[in-house]
Copies of this chain bind each other. A is one copy, B any other.
Amino acid sequence: MARLKIGKLVVIGTGLIGGSFALALKRARAVGRVTGVGRTRRNLADALKLKVIDEASRDPARAVRDADLVLLATPVGQMPAVMTEIAPHLPHHAVITDGGSTKRDVVECARRFLGAHFTRFVPGHPVAGTEKSGATAAFPDLFRGRSVILTPQRETLASATRLVRRAWETCGARVVRLDAEAHDSILAAVSHLPHVIAFALVNLLARQRSPGRLFALSAGGLRDTVRIAGSSPEMWADICSANRDALLAVLEDYENELEQVRAVIENGDTGELRRMFGQARSAREKWLVGKRGR
């Protein structure tokens, strides 16, 4: 297979995801030139200095005029505005993809705002990240060994899907195809719910008497459990709103799960509690083995 060669990549939203995508493709010499688009001068200046991008722009419409591949890596909530802005200026060969954490709403939005370009829009979600954000957090190995989910639609051109798949594989990712609905309900369970759980736990602890002493007496278990409560509030509020229905469904299941544990503790049934905890430990171990096995 010929080596991947993208002439001009435009990354809209030059943060952790967009920046790491650019760095990985640059390292692989799979891209000619990278233009980074962002809202703040400071972050763009950092991205230029760190050679994450080759040129910076605050005008997405102008930046995409000669793009070959466009990655939309803004928070999901900004996609309607960004798509509306770029649609009239996209060249007729440009392939567009995104890194949004929800897919039904992004597909909906692209169908509405990208017009004729929708056939070259490949919805995507790299399942990777850290609790840090911004161009300074970007690094080329962020996607190595991680999953990227693509949810192409009936209308999506196979050639567009192929290009985006190859770009992510060049970043070291494992590409998985799912339909957008399956994506959203799986991610609600494995990602959005854990974030809600962590944010809620920290808020509960912060409201106790002398929270400082409380935190001081905690151990590594709590620290790990709430690590993701350090994630961007703006981004996660957007994601939770965008994936509202799937998240509400799994949150309700989780509350029922807690109610069951609660009832068992209330009844003092230590044997049943041991069974429940043991079941969780086994499932986690099986999962870790599966992860290593890939």
Point out residues on A near B: beta carbons under 8 Å.
Answer: 77, 127-130, 146-147, 149, 176, 186-187, 189-191, 193-206, 208, 211-222, 224-234, 236-238, 240-241, 244, 247-248, 250-255, 257-259, 261-262, 265-266, 268, 270-271, 273-281, 283-285, 287, 290-291, 294
Contacts and interface: CB of A to CB of B under 8 A. Distances in A.
Contacts of A231: 221, 277, 281
A214 B147 CA distance: 11
- The 7 A-B pairs at the shortest CB distance, nearest first, are namely A233-B277, A206-B283, A233-B278, A237-B274, A190-B218, A237-B273, A215-B287
A212 B194 CA distance: 17
A257 B203 contact: yes
Nearest to A146: B219
A228 B224 contact: yes
Contacts of A216: 147, 290-291, 294
Given A199-B280, A277-B236, A283-B205, A127 B255 contact: no
Given A258-B200, A258-B255, A233 B274 contact: yes
A215 B291 contact: yes
Contacts of A227: 221, 224-225
A189 to B, nearest CB: 6
Number of copies of this protein chain within its complex: 2
Contacts of A176: 217
Contacts of A278: 233
Contacts of A253: 204
**Which of A146, A149, A257, A287: most chain B Cβ within 10 A?**
A287
A68 B57 CA distance: 73
Given A189-B208, A231-B277, A241-B265, 6 more contacts: A186-B213, A189-B204, A190-B217, A224-B228, A236-B273, A258-B258
Contacts of A241: 265, 268, 270, 273
A165 B189 CA distance: 45
Contact of A222 (B194, B240, B262): B194
Contacts of A147: 216-217
23 contacts: A128-B220, A147-B217, A186-B217, A189-B208, A190-B205, A190-B215, A191-B219, A196-B261, A198-B225, A199-B261, A200-B261, A203-B279, A205-B283, A216-B290, A221-B227, A224-B225, A229-B277, A233-B274, A234-B274, A248-B265, A251-B261, A251-B262, A255-B258
